[in-house]
Amino acid sequence: MYSLGFTKSTGYTEDQVKEDSMVIEANTKEKPSFAAIDAIVHKHNIEPGAVIPVLQEIQDTFGYIPPVAIQRIANNINTPASEIFGIITFYAQFRLQPLGKNLIKVCHGTACHLGGAEMVAERLAQVTGAKEGETSQDDIFTVERVACLGCCSLAPCIMLNSEAYGRLTPEAIDKIVTQTRKKEMPTSVE
């Protein structure tokens, strides 16, 4: 039997994984196909150590790791779902929820921290409705905390999708969010 040894280290039981998966599944809209999940697992030949690449490819395919994928991977490699869940929750690179249409990365590097990164994060939470690590109710924004964006001369800064914004004030954040939200709202036809 292929074992990863995470069951004891994470403390998750199979029932906890199923319960958490039901909550997560209730918050997601799409149902990934078993065929796609199976193809990804089998592509990696179910070799020891292949769980992380499998999870990475599933996330690349679906934008996150769907709860049904956890149990499906576990079944395919004869490993408890709690071990797969333990890996997903251990590594920050994995998401159990889909991203919003726009990803906002809030820099918390030294320069940004000193320049007001906490103010930026608080203001973003107020105007988007999403704290760091969350997606807004309207699915327009996901806000993530990052260690550094490499834009230290622009502190404090964020990256909205692939565009950096710097020297931020609460007013600038309001403007950025309002403009982005307007782009995402359907236009009415009269």
Q: Tens of pLDDT along 61-92? A: 998 999 999 999 998 888 899 999 999 999 98
> 164: helix, coil or strand?
strand
Q: Which CATH number characterizes residue 135's domain?
A: 3.40.30.10
CA atoms within 13 A on the CB side of 143: 24
CA atoms within 13 A on the CB side of 88: 27
- Measured between its terminal Cα atoms, the distance across the chain in Å is 63
Q: Is residue 85 part of a domain?
A: yes
Instruction: Please answer whether residues 51 and 18 qualify as being in contact, where contact means their C-beta atoms are separated by less than 8 angstroms.
Output: no
The tens digit of pLDDT for each residue in 34-58 reads 888 888 888 876 665 679 999 999 9
Say whether both 78 and 111 belong to one domain: no
Q: At 173, list the tokens.
A: 């954040």
Say whether both 172 and 122 belong to one domain: yes
Say whether both 29 and 64 belong to one domain: yes
Say whether both 111 and 147 belong to one domain: yes
The tens digit of pLDDT for each residue in 108-132 reads 999 999 999 999 999 999 999 999 9
Q: Determine the structural domain holding residue 13 and report its residue range.
A: 6-90
Q: Is residue 147 part of a domain?
A: yes
